Homo-oligomer: A and B are copies of this chain.
Amino acid sequence: MKKWTIGVDLGGTEIKFGLFDDKLQKSWSIPTNTQEQGKYIVEDIAASIKKCCDESGITKDMLKGVGIGVPGPVLKGNVVRQCVNLGWGQINIGDELSKKLGEHFGCDGEELLICAGNDANVAALGEMWLGGGQGCTSIVMVTLGTGVGGGIVVDGKILNGIGGCAGEIGHIICVDDADLVGRCSCGHKGCLEQIASATGIVNYSKLYLEHASEVSVLRDIWKQKGDITSKDVLDAAKAGDMAAVQITDKVFMYLGKALAGICNIVNPECVLIGGGVSAAGEYLRAKVENYFKGYAFPGTEDTPIRLATIGNQAGIAGAAYMVISKNE
């Protein structure tokens, strides 16, 4: 009867939705209205869910519940501590969404199961359910985007941490001062994010090029376009540009070393690498795995390092799976 679940990925500019049974059946998105401290967001979500259900002929009795990933730490009981991007302070997203859904569906909202989680953690769960971690119950996922995010799943459940701060892989301090430009957004110096994010790769590349003398296509690009991107650097490395190879090897070394340390702690079934930078694909994966093996404790050194596969859909999938796995 209750075969449908909605997964919501709440971002700072866009809210993505997915309608799931045992896989994704429909997805859509709406813009995020961050006006007045994001006070319209929950109502917008509830209205959009109702609209989809109406269009698909889904009544409340056919709905298991709604899962939602939010861009901030989530405590027990669906309490969101803060979402700076949305303008939210502490809010019980479970209660709020329940109430709004109840209004739309003309029922007591508590009939619907609501599960909330941090977006990076939820994406890890989504990759485990339908992506690169399929068949596993315990994974570590690192997302290399503008920043470096992470999510950890143990025995099929998100590792949340007591304050919703588990899985903050990007802020492990492991980078030597000599390889760094400035400080991290978190205020510290030496965070993995400072070298392994798209921004970090660019910063480190410029630092490297300023101090090295070898010819590199990256100098030409920098001169012509006035800047370089992490994709420029990874493409150049793949094409055999020696400076780019040196640069990316350093990045992969730090990433492999950090992941080895994390696997000493969590000993997962596999490690997934996702985010924009992971578009570098097998070249990146194989190199990171190589460094990983060099730093991993015997017993975790054979942990497979894989690429994430469902990209932007991981958020909605993981959100839905929080609900689905809770019912199981």
Contacts and interface: CB of A to CB of B under 8 A. Distances in A.
Contact of A295 (B154, B188, B260, B300): B188
Contacts of A173: 257, 260-261, 295
B164 A267 contact: yes
A165 interface: yes
22 contacts: A138-B161, A138-B162, A152-B265, A154-B159, A159-B266, A160-B267, A161-B300, A162-B269, A163-B299, A164-B267, A164-B299, A165-B264, A165-B297, A165-B299, A168-B265, A168-B297, A169-B264, A171-B264, A172-B261, A173-B295, A188-B295, A265-B266
Interface of A: 73, 138, 152, 154, 159-169, 171-174, 186-188, 257, 260-262, 264-269, 295, 297-300
A139 B160 CA distance: 13
Contacts of A262: 265
Contacts of A264: 165-169, 171-172
A166 B73 CA distance: 24
Contact of A161 (B161, B257, B260, B267): B267
A318 to B, nearest CB: 18
A265 B187 contact: no
Nearest to A299: B165
A163 B260 CA distance: 15
Given A138-B162, A154-B159, A172 B300 contact: no
Given A257-B173, A260-B173, A161 B268 contact: yes
Contact of A163 (B164, B168, B300): B300
Contacts of A161: 138, 266-268, 300
Nearest to A140: B265
Contacts of A269: 162
A266 B297 CA distance: 19
B172 A265 contact: yes
Contacts of A298: 186-187
A269 B165 CA distance: 11
A261 B160 contact: no
A297 B174 CA distance: 13
A166 B266 contact: yes
B266 A171 contact: no
Given A172-B261, A174-B174, A261-B172, A267 B163 contact: yes
A1 to B, nearest CB: 31
Nearest to A150: B265
Contact of A162 (B168, B261, B267): B267
Contacts of A187: 298
Contacts of A261: 172-174, 261
Nearest to A73: B299
A300 B265 contact: no
Contacts of A73: 299
Contact of A265 (B164, B167, B186): B167
Contacts of A295: 173, 188
Nearest to A264: B168
A90 to B, nearest CB: 14
